[in-house]
């Protein structure tokens, strides 16, 4: 099986595949579940198998998933899958920090979706009356009106964006930090975990 020509066809889909894998691995390592290189190799192989089985990504990156799996099976730990994925990301994507706040927020939510989360845009009425359902379901809830009022015409965050979540939220702060977004966990409300995506004043000054 030949090596996919990453340099010749950098795509947003390929960058997102690599990004999602790296974020999932980062959360795994931070939680202390995959400390050694061998454990990280096993995690990546399982993650790739799950992504392939559940068809989480477009068909355009199917060959990349198969190639990484083949490398892992052929060379085992020596395949350095983490290094390969990091290279794929660097060669397929522009610097995420150079993107707009709205782009990076959307990227974070899309990453959650690819990790099995439900993404829900709700009305103001639904926001006021909602009660959290099963905490076994990982989901993020965003008010539609907040997306309009919290970002300006340049897609910069101009006021805190409040998110509600259910499920295991232990890796949320780390994920948003990877997307260069400042978040703070607030007091729970109506059974939901609550996070505030806050304005980065230093970043805003640099862009002014």
Q: What does 47-87 look like in DSSP terms, one character per residue?
A: HHHHHHHHT-S-GGGHHHHHHHHHHHHHHGGGG-HHHHHHH
Give the β-pairing of 192-198 and 182-189. antiparallel
Residue scoring higher pLDDT (171 or 96) = 171
pTM of the model: 0.63
Tokens of 19: 């990004």
pLDDT at 2: 37
Q: What is the pLDDT of residues 28-79, one digit of tens each?
A: 888 888 778 899 999 999 999 999 999 889 888 898 999 999 999 988 988 8
pLDDT at 94: 61
Contacts for 45 with CB less than 8 Å, ≥ 6 apart: 69, 72, 73, 81
pLDDT at 107: 82
Cα 101 versus chain centre, distance: 14
Diameter over CA atoms, the chain: 55
205, pLDDT greater than 70: no
Residue 190: how many other CB atoms lie within 10 Å: 12
């Amino acid at each position: 099986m030949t090596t996919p020509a990453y340099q010749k066809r950098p795509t947003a889909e390929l960058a997102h595949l690599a990004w999602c894998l790296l974020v999932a691995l980062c959360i795994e390592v931070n939680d202390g579940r995959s400390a050694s290189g061998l454990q990280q190799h096993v995690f990546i192989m399982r993650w790739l198998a799950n992504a392939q089985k559940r068809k989480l990504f477009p068909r355009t990156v199917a060959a990349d998933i198969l190639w990484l799996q083949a490398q892992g099976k052929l060379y085992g730990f020596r395949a350095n899958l983490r290094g390969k994925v990091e290279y794929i990301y660097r060669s397929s994507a522009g610097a995420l920090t150079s993107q707009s706040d709205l782009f990076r927020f959307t990227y974070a939510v899309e990453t959650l979706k690819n990790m099995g989360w439900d993404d829900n845009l709700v009305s103001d009425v639904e926001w006021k009356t909602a009660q959290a359902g099963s905490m076994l379901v990982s989901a993020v809830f965003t008010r539609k009106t907040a997306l309009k009022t919290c970002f300006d015409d340049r897609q910069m965050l101009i006021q805190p964006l409040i998110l509600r979540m259910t499920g295991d939220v232990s890796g949320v702060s780390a994920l948003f930090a990877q997307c260069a977004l400042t978040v703070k966990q607030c007091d729970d409300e109506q059974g939901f975990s609550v996070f505030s995506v806050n304005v980065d004043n230093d970043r805003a000054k640099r862009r002014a």
